[in-house]
Every structure is written in C-alpha cells, then in structure tokens.
Amino acid sequence: MRIAQLAPLAESVPPKLYGGTERVVAWLVDGLVERGHDVTLFASGDSRTTGKLHPVWPRALRLGRKGTDPSAACAMLLEAIAKRARDFDVIHAHVDWLHLPLLSRLGVPFLTTLHGRLDLPGLPDVVRQFPDARFVSISDHQRLSLPEAKWIGTIQHGLPSELLHASYGGGSYLAFLGRLTADKGPEDAIRIAHAARMPLRIAAKIPRAETAYFRKHLAPRIDGEKIQLVGEVDDVKKQSLLRGAAALVFPIAWPEPFGLVMIEAMACGTPVIAYRSGSVPEVIEHGLTGFIVESEEQAVKAVGELGKLDRKRVRARFEERFTARRMAQQYEERYRELIAPAARGLDTQPLEP
C-alpha cells in the first residue's frame, strides 16, 4: 500500500527529547516499511525515518526558531497533503482535528488516530460535522467521551522490542517520567517516595505555562539528594533511568488516553505503580506488571510489595502486548478495511473488531 502519515509539527519525528505522539508515529512508519509498504511521512524537516520524508517545515516548532507562527506551519502541512493526496491509497493523520475539513473533501480514504484527551467542550460538535470520518482510539477509555464518533477500533501503542533493554535487578529508587503538571501527579510522587523512604528521580519537561507551578509546588521539595530533578531525557538516558528504578510511579489525576511511559518502563522490566485513572487498567495488569492503586497510602504499600513481582515477567508481557510490530499489523488491517470499499466505489463503514 501507498500510505501517507501526517505528523504533528511541534516535535521532530522521532523527537529529540519529549514527545509521545511523534515517537509513536516514528515507530509506526518503521513498522509499516518493514512490512513492505510504501510510506511517506509528512513532518518537520529535521525528522528521520525509514520511509520517505516530505518536509513541510524546516524544523520542529518547539525546539526551532522562536517566534514561528504554528498556524503557518500547519497551513503548509495541509497544502502539502492536498497536492499529493492522490499519490496514496490511504492517509493516516495524527494531528487532532486540523485535517478533517480538507481530507473529508479529497476523496482519498483516511483515518485519524486521536492521541489526546477527548472530554473537552466542543468536541462532540466537531464530530457531528464529519459523520463519515473514521477514528482510532489508543484506549477504550479514551473514546468514552465521544461515543458518536465513527470508531473503527482501538489500537494500543507499541514500541520496537529492541529499543529498550531490561534489567532484572531490584532497583534502588523510584522514577517519575513525564510533564511537570499537576494532573501528572509529581507532588503525589514526591510524597509517596518520602513515605516509602525511597529516593525519587524526576525526569520531566517543564512546560512554559507551568513554570509558576513548578517554582511554587515542586522546586522547594527537590533537594538534589533524596528528590532529584534530572530534566528531559533522550532515549539513552531514559533507558538508564528506568532500568535502575525499583518502579515507575504514575500517580495521574486525569483521564490518561494511554500513557506511553508505562510500556517504556515495562520494556525495561520495571513495574509500574499507577493510580486507577484513564487507560491504566487497560495497560497495567495488577500484581503482574505493577500495582493499580487508589491512593497515596496504597501506593506506599505497593512499594513494599515490589519484591513479589517478577521483572522478567514484566518484560515478557511487554513483548506479548506492546510491540511496534503488533501495532503496525493492526493499523495495516484497518487500512485494508478502508481501501476495500473505496476500490469498489462504495462508502461502507468497516466493522469494528
């Protein structure tokens, strides 16, 4: 198949540092190319891919030139795919809602993977404007807020099995990995580590809008010894962080659509202690790959029970459930379902699995 992938422009594909969606797009493209497909990636010019790169903007917006207008970059992305749409059998978009008015009118089969939270005002109105647009969710929980969307499946993220290597030692600290925002639970993670008498290493991006939150609520608690901030990490440093951790703490306070860091930890053999929210029960198997808890007190207790978990089994469950190879195969199946009726001149909806 000739497949176009539309990536966000905030980060390169894959990203230099933070960027979950862009990582998933990179792994998906590589997986599809490995399966023999002709894949073109529409992304920033500093992206790297085993497919064909169509650069629509010189550099990723977040780490690129200051003052760049994101709307201008997005306009270039839409113009690029508009000119080349007929070159493809199917178009796969990862840019939220931006593309819907255009792709709905081009006559080429397309689908959208939604990577963010969907419980936001106005989204049902958007969905109603595009009743024929097909969507893929990254967890079953994610789609609950938009039942009227035309869902054609849930496909959980996967990463290359060889990307991260496991460590089967016990680990000497707790790890927190993600954005330093209140809904990600960094304050809870600090309190859990203190109560469990475990060091905590925080590898995280500080969003510009959250600088005041960080200075007021987090900075006074980071002593550089028991509680350490190591900043944003690349894949090499991320592996080192997760391999050496007794557990990843994931005390989220929002409807997490997937939580890529959970499967990154599992790939390193590292169990996850997570609050029961969003996709967590779909990713973590309680008592096998980690512990699903309801409170800080339960999280502290779970730290004391980490010795009951087999880190080799954690890695094995990652390989069984969350590889990029599995993800690419499932998307390939959805593409074929979309293309088949289009080839016959029909407009029938693929059956959801």
- pLDDT (tens digit, 9 = 90+) per residue, 241-298? 999 999 999 999 999 999 999 999 999 999 999 999 999 999 999 999 999 999 999 9
* Tokens 């989220």 -> residue: 252
One DSSP character per residue, 279-306 reads: THHHH--BTTTEEEESSHHHHHHHHHTG
The per-residue pLDDT for 16 is: 80
The per-residue pLDDT for 20 is: 87
The model's pLDDT over 109-150, given as tens digits with 9 standing for 90+, comes to 999 999 999 999 999 999 999 999 999 999 999 999 999 999
Contact 176, 201 (CB under 8 A): yes
CA distance 201 to 182: 17
Q: Could you tell me which CATH number the domain at 173-321 has? A: 3.40.50.2000
The per-residue pLDDT for 64 is: 65
Q: Grade residue 164 by pLDDT with cuts at 50, 70 and 90.
A: very high
Average pLDDT over residues 148-163: 97
Average pLDDT score, the chain:
93
Which 8-state DSSP code applies to residue 11?
S
Length of the chain: 353
Contact 246, 173 (CB under 8 A): yes
Q: Grade residue 235 by pLDDT with cuts at 50, 70 and 90.
A: confident
Q: Whole-prediction pTM value?
A: 0.92
Beta strands in the chain (DSSP E): 2-6, 38-44, 52-57, 90-93, 110-113, 134-137, 150-154, 173-179, 200-205, 227-229, 245-250, 272-275, 290-293
CA distance 7 to 55: 11
Q: Grade residue 209 by pLDDT with cuts at 50, 70 and 90.
A: confident
CA distance 248 to 279: 16
Q: Is residue 178 predicted with pLDDT exceeding 90?
A: no
The per-residue pLDDT for 91 is: 98
The per-residue pLDDT for 353 is: 44
What are the tokens at 53?
């790169």
Q: Mark 192-205 as b/e (b = at least 16 C-beta within 10 Å).
A: bbeebebbbbbbbb
The per-residue pLDDT for 350 is: 44
Q: Does domain 2-160+323-343 have CATH number 3.40.50.300?
A: no
Residue ranges, comma separated, of all CATH 3.40.50.2000 domains in the chain are 2-160+323-343, 173-321
* 14-28, 36-50, 58-72, 113-127: segment of lowest average pLDDT: 58-72
One DSSP character per residue, 190-248 reads: HHHHHHHT--EEEEEE--GGGHHHIIIIIGGG--SSSEEE-----HHHHHHHHHTEEEE
Q: 122: Cβ–Cβ under 8 A, 6 or more apart, which residues?
A: none
Average pLDDT over residues 206-216: 87
The per-residue pLDDT for 54 is: 98
Average pLDDT over residues 292-307: 97
The model's pLDDT over 90-106, given as tens digits with 9 standing for 90+, comes to 999 999 999 999 999 99
The per-residue pLDDT for 346 is: 53
CA distance 72 to 52: 23
Report the candidate in 60, 130, 129, 136 with the shortest Cα–Cα distance to residue 92: 136
CA distance 267 to 317: 9
